[in-house]
Amino acid sequence: MSEKAYITILGRSTWALINTYYAVLTEKAYYPSLIYIFSEDIYADELGKAVKGIEILKEEFNFKPEIRTEIVREADFIEAGLKINSTIKELKERGYSVAVDITPGRKALVAGALLSAEKLGVDHVFYLAVKSVESKPYKMKPLAVQKLRDFIVDVKSYRGKADE
Protein backbone atom coordinates (compact mmCIF):
# COMPACT_ATOMS: atom_id res chain seq x y z
CA MET A 1 0.00 0.00 0.00
CA SER A 2 1.33 3.43 -0.90
CA GLU A 3 1.97 6.17 1.58
CA LYS A 4 -0.69 8.82 1.91
CA ALA A 5 -0.45 12.59 1.59
CA TYR A 6 -3.08 15.14 2.57
CA ILE A 7 -3.21 18.66 1.14
CA THR A 8 -5.44 21.24 2.76
CA ILE A 9 -5.99 24.93 2.20
CA LEU A 10 -6.18 27.46 5.02
CA GLY A 11 -8.72 30.20 4.37
CA ARG A 12 -10.91 32.34 6.59
CA SER A 13 -11.67 29.57 9.08
CA THR A 14 -9.09 27.50 10.91
CA TRP A 15 -12.01 25.49 12.34
CA ALA A 16 -13.05 24.46 8.82
CA LEU A 17 -9.56 23.05 8.21
CA ILE A 18 -9.37 21.20 11.52
CA ASN A 19 -12.95 19.91 11.44
CA THR A 20 -12.59 18.51 7.94
CA TYR A 21 -9.34 16.80 8.86
CA TYR A 22 -11.03 15.36 11.96
CA ALA A 23 -13.91 14.08 9.79
CA VAL A 24 -11.45 12.52 7.30
CA LEU A 25 -9.67 10.70 10.12
CA THR A 26 -12.90 9.58 11.77
CA GLU A 27 -15.09 8.74 8.80
CA LYS A 28 -12.60 7.73 6.11
CA ALA A 29 -9.67 6.43 8.21
CA TYR A 30 -7.34 8.31 5.88
CA TYR A 31 -4.13 8.59 7.90
CA PRO A 32 -1.51 10.49 5.90
CA SER A 33 2.21 10.35 6.57
CA LEU A 34 2.63 13.81 5.03
CA ILE A 35 0.39 16.87 5.33
CA TYR A 36 0.67 20.11 3.37
CA ILE A 37 -1.17 23.24 4.47
CA PHE A 38 -1.38 25.88 1.75
CA SER A 39 -2.26 29.40 2.84
CA GLU A 40 -2.61 32.77 1.22
CA ASP A 41 -0.26 35.34 2.71
CA ILE A 42 -3.14 37.22 4.38
CA TYR A 43 -3.90 34.13 6.51
CA ALA A 44 -0.31 33.12 7.20
CA ASP A 45 -0.59 34.29 10.83
CA GLU A 46 -3.19 31.52 11.37
CA LEU A 47 -0.85 28.74 10.20
CA GLY A 48 0.43 28.14 13.74
CA LYS A 49 -3.13 27.47 14.98
CA ALA A 50 -3.81 25.12 12.05
CA VAL A 51 -0.60 23.18 12.67
CA LYS A 52 -1.36 22.98 16.41
CA GLY A 53 -4.85 21.64 15.68
CA ILE A 54 -3.46 18.95 13.40
CA GLU A 55 -0.84 18.06 16.00
CA ILE A 56 -3.56 17.60 18.63
CA LEU A 57 -5.44 15.27 16.27
CA LYS A 58 -2.36 13.26 15.38
CA GLU A 59 -1.81 12.66 19.10
CA GLU A 60 -5.46 11.67 19.58
CA PHE A 61 -5.30 9.23 16.65
CA ASN A 62 -1.79 8.05 17.61
CA PHE A 63 0.14 8.59 14.40
CA LYS A 64 2.85 11.04 13.40
CA PRO A 65 2.52 12.70 9.99
CA GLU A 66 5.05 15.28 8.89
CA ILE A 67 3.43 18.72 8.47
CA ARG A 68 4.66 21.21 5.86
CA THR A 69 3.32 24.67 5.07
CA GLU A 70 3.30 26.70 1.87
CA ILE A 71 2.33 30.36 1.45
CA VAL A 72 1.10 31.98 -1.77
CA ARG A 73 0.10 35.53 -2.55
CA GLU A 74 -3.53 36.49 -1.94
CA ALA A 75 -5.89 35.60 -4.82
CA ASP A 76 -2.96 34.62 -7.06
CA PHE A 77 -4.60 31.81 -9.02
CA ILE A 78 -1.50 31.18 -11.16
CA GLU A 79 0.97 30.92 -8.26
CA ALA A 80 -1.45 28.78 -6.24
CA GLY A 81 -2.12 26.46 -9.17
CA LEU A 82 1.57 26.05 -9.98
CA LYS A 83 2.59 25.34 -6.36
CA ILE A 84 -0.23 22.90 -5.71
CA ASN A 85 0.29 21.25 -9.10
CA SER A 86 4.02 20.74 -8.52
CA THR A 87 3.37 19.38 -5.01
CA ILE A 88 0.78 16.87 -6.23
CA LYS A 89 2.93 15.87 -9.20
CA GLU A 90 5.96 15.24 -6.96
CA LEU A 91 3.87 13.23 -4.49
CA LYS A 92 2.30 11.09 -7.22
CA GLU A 93 5.74 10.46 -8.78
CA ARG A 94 6.94 9.28 -5.35
CA GLY A 95 4.02 6.81 -5.20
CA TYR A 96 1.79 8.62 -2.71
CA SER A 97 -1.97 8.36 -2.60
CA VAL A 98 -3.04 12.03 -2.53
CA ALA A 99 -6.10 13.59 -0.90
CA VAL A 100 -7.00 17.25 -1.23
CA ASP A 101 -9.34 19.07 1.17
CA ILE A 102 -11.01 22.08 -0.44
CA THR A 103 -13.37 22.91 2.45
CA PRO A 104 -11.52 25.79 4.13
CA GLY A 105 -9.93 27.35 1.03
CA ARG A 106 -10.73 30.48 -0.90
CA LYS A 107 -11.41 30.41 -4.62
CA ALA A 108 -7.89 30.94 -6.02
CA LEU A 109 -6.36 28.07 -4.08
CA VAL A 110 -9.39 25.80 -4.48
CA ALA A 111 -9.43 26.36 -8.25
CA GLY A 112 -5.72 25.60 -8.45
CA ALA A 113 -6.19 22.46 -6.38
CA LEU A 114 -9.15 21.20 -8.41
CA LEU A 115 -7.45 21.76 -11.76
CA SER A 116 -4.41 19.87 -10.49
CA ALA A 117 -6.56 17.13 -8.97
CA GLU A 118 -8.25 16.34 -12.26
CA LYS A 119 -5.08 16.61 -14.33
CA LEU A 120 -2.83 14.57 -12.02
CA GLY A 121 -5.24 11.89 -10.82
CA VAL A 122 -5.70 12.80 -7.17
CA ASP A 123 -7.24 9.94 -5.19
CA HIS A 124 -9.65 11.97 -3.01
CA VAL A 125 -11.09 15.49 -2.99
CA PHE A 126 -12.74 16.05 0.38
CA TYR A 127 -15.33 18.68 1.22
CA LEU A 128 -17.12 18.95 4.56
CA ALA A 129 -20.57 20.37 3.86
CA VAL A 130 -21.84 22.06 7.01
CA LYS A 131 -25.29 23.60 7.46
CA SER A 132 -24.13 25.63 10.45
CA VAL A 133 -21.34 28.21 10.60
CA GLU A 134 -20.67 27.89 14.31
CA SER A 135 -17.00 27.77 15.23
CA LYS A 136 -17.06 24.52 17.16
CA PRO A 137 -15.06 21.32 16.99
CA TYR A 138 -16.32 18.61 14.64
CA LYS A 139 -17.46 16.30 17.46
CA MET A 140 -19.44 19.11 19.13
CA LYS A 141 -21.68 19.60 16.08
CA PRO A 142 -24.50 17.18 15.29
CA LEU A 143 -23.58 14.87 12.41
CA ALA A 144 -26.93 15.73 10.84
CA VAL A 145 -25.66 19.25 10.02
CA GLN A 146 -22.38 18.11 8.44
CA LYS A 147 -21.60 15.65 5.68
CA LEU A 148 -18.14 14.67 4.48
CA ARG A 149 -18.06 14.34 0.70
CA ASP A 150 -15.36 12.80 -1.47
CA PHE A 151 -15.91 14.25 -4.94
CA ILE A 152 -13.62 11.69 -6.62
CA VAL A 153 -15.61 8.77 -5.18
CA ASP A 154 -18.91 10.55 -5.93
CA VAL A 155 -17.97 11.09 -9.60
CA LYS A 156 -16.78 7.48 -10.03
CA SER A 157 -20.04 6.26 -8.48
CA TYR A 158 -22.11 8.54 -10.72
CA ARG A 159 -20.22 7.40 -13.85
CA GLY A 160 -20.80 3.77 -12.85
CA LYS A 161 -24.55 4.34 -12.55
CA ALA A 162 -24.65 6.18 -15.88
CA ASP A 163 -23.08 3.13 -17.56
CA GLU A 164 -25.83 0.80 -16.29
Number of domains composing the chain: 1
Nearest one of 41, 6, 9, 14 to 105, comparing CA atoms:
9
Among residues 48, 42, 54, 44, which one has the least CA distance to residue 17? Answer: 54
Region 117-128 average pLDDT: 92
H helix and E strand count, the chain: 5, 6
Give tens-digit pLDDT for 86-96.
Answer: 999 999 999 99
From the number of C-beta atoms within 10 Å of its C-beta (0-12, 13-18, 19+), residue 128 rates as: buried
pTM of the predicted protein model? 0.90
Lowest mean pLDDT among 21-35, 94-108, 126-140: 126-140
Residues 117-142 have a mean pLDDT of: 78
Q: Per mean pLDDT, which of 63-77, 121-135, 142-156 is the most reliable?
A: 63-77
Spatial separation of the C-alpha atoms in residues 11 and 93, rounded to whole Å: 28
pLDDT value of residue 135 = 61
pLDDT at residue 108, as a whole number:
83
Give the residue numbers spanning the domain of 111.
4-162
Across 152-162, average pLDDT = 77
- β-pairing, 146-150 with 124-130? antiparallel
pLDDT of residue 116: 84
Give the residue from 124, 117, 113 showing the smallest Cα distance to 152. 124
pLDDT value at residue 162: 59
Whether the per-residue pLDDT at 144 is higher than 70: the answer is: no
Q: Where residue 119 sits, what CATH number does that domain have?
A: 3.40.50.10770
Q: What's the confidence (pLDDT) of residue 149?
A: 93
Mean pLDDT of 91-113: 93
Q: CA-to-CA distance for 24 and 128, rounded, in angstroms? A: 9
Question: What's the pLDDT band for 39 if we cut at 50, 70, 90?
Answer: very high
